[in-house]
Amino acid sequence: MKIFFIVIWLFVVLFNSEAQARVLDRIVAVVEDDVILAHELNQEVAAITAKLKSTNVMMPPEQILRKQVIERMIIDKLQRQLAARSGIQVSDEMLRNSVSDIASRNGLSVEAFHKELTKQGMDYKGFEENLRNEIIINQLRGREIGSRIKVTDAEVEHYMETQSKAGLSNSQYHLGHILISVSEAASSSAIQKAKDKADQVVSELRSGKDFNQMAVSVSNDDNALKGGDLGWRNLGQIPTLFADSVTSMGRGDVSDPIRSPSGFHIIKILDIEGAGQHIVTKTKVRHILLKTNELIDDSDAQKRLQALRDRVINGDDFATLARAHSDDKGSAINGGSLDWVVPGALVPPFEEAMNKLAINEISQPVQTQFGWHIIQVLDRENQDNSEQFKKDKVKEEIRKRKIEEETELWLRRLRDEAYVEIDMDKL
């Protein structure tokens, strides 16, 4: 009996060794000092196949698909190898923050997002690993490509001039639509009744009634249950019936009823991109900053700022206290004033706290990367930033195009200069 178990044990060991050898032998590609195994390729092919089928894309022949997939895997591996040699890493904290950000953009907590991925059959650890690789590659491309891309003012001006001469508009309109229908055989009194109803709807919308709710309640259009949302459209995609009205309207405007054979249409400009007014809110703000060091920790800084805040509330002059106590010497000499600031000019924690304050209100202590602050908003005003906004949009478009072109060349060089050997027989 003992000999029998020894034989079985030897068979298991030999079988496992042979199986491991078969797995090790199934190397389909060598990429520099790394390899791609058959099971890795098969997993990626299966994932891509499922994705293509879900979007109703016609599947290419399997051999062509496998070649396409392995080339993508080679490029991915080469980038990760270069990132590793360059010392680019993603900490667990950075990964957690990225997951939290993705979950937040989907309106979910991290726990709910985790459950949703599991419900969809996705491996959460695999998701995290893919996200980590994506962050690493983005950082690598930012360093290798993004940092070298420059867009000059002359390029922006030339682009805008060319677009203007060609009569092109990059305007995109996000439209809401309500239809008060009228039958083809409607009597004049029925038509008038529909017109009165449309006028009443317009009046209520212009008085602040929620458009989505109104559309669900009264619209006879197919998009009614979507809140009347027609989505984003450029002028060429907007029905001629509405085009003239749309081009004369601004963001948030509601049209007069527009008559057609089907009834009375009401259009609202939910948003506009690429043209028209772009209003930004400037804020006049001042602060007192305390930096932490070996003598002052976070708790001490908070307590000191709380005491300063109480003094201002009880009548002490903010500017005088800022000159005496603030560690931001540049603003301290001006009583803590940062003057007028536009969105994006300050670090996010400071700006978020500032935006929540009423005029003359003083914040509780707020922590940023620079230390601890108390903040006071002195004034706010809206500014038409349309021209600069257009230029910034154009600059970003040119930059994206340059990055795409340069990335394609960079990846080709990376592939051409690397040692790669593919076993075509094992594909």
HEC secondary structure over 29-51: EEECCEEEEHHHHHHHHHHHHHH
pLDDT at residue 101, rounded to an integer? 84
Task: Determine contact, residues 238/246, Cβ cutoff 8 Å.
Answer: yes
Q: For residues 188 and 196, give the distance between their C-alpha atoms in angstroms, rounded to a whole number.
A: 12
Query: What does the pLDDT read at residue 25?
Result: 52
pLDDT of residue 57: 64
Who's near 408: CB < 8 A, 6+ residues apart? none
Region class of 345: left (phi > 0), else alpha (psi between -120 and 50), else beta: alpha
Is domain 279-384 classified as CATH 1.10.8.100?
Answer: no
Spell out the residues 6+ positions from residue 196 whose beta carbon is closer than 8 angstroms to its own. none
**What whole-number distance in Å separates Cα of residue 170 and Cα of residue 398?**
14
Please say whether the beta carbons of 377 and 357 come within 8 A. Answer: yes
| pLDDT score for 58 | 67
Q: Where do we find the tokens 């919308």? A: 205
- Ranges in the chain annotated CATH 3.10.50.40: 172-273, 279-384
The answer to whether 88 touches 427, Cβ cutoff 8 Å, is no
Helix or strand or coil: residue 322? helix
The pTM of this model reads 0.51
Task: Report how far apart, in Å, the C-alpha atoms of 426 and of each of 25, 38, 72, 74, 278 are.
Answer: 10, 8, 17, 15, 57
Contacts 24+ apart (CB under 8 A), 407-414: 407/141, 407/145, 410/141, 410/144, 410/145, 411/75, 411/79, 414/75, 414/78, 414/79, 414/82
Tell me how far apart the alpha carbons of residues 217 and 228 are, in angstroms, rounded to a whole number. Answer: 10
pLDDT of residue 170: 63
The residues of the chain scoring below 50 in pLDDT are 1-24, 166-168
Terminal-to-terminal C-alpha distance of the chain:
46
Q: 271 forms bridges with which residues in the sheet? A: 174
Q: Are 143 and 87 in contact (CB under 8 A)?
A: no
Specify the pLDDT at position 353.
94
Report the distance separating Cα 267 and Cα 423, nearest Å.
60
Query: 172-273 sits in which CATH class?
Result: alpha beta
Element (H, E) at 218: helix 211-218
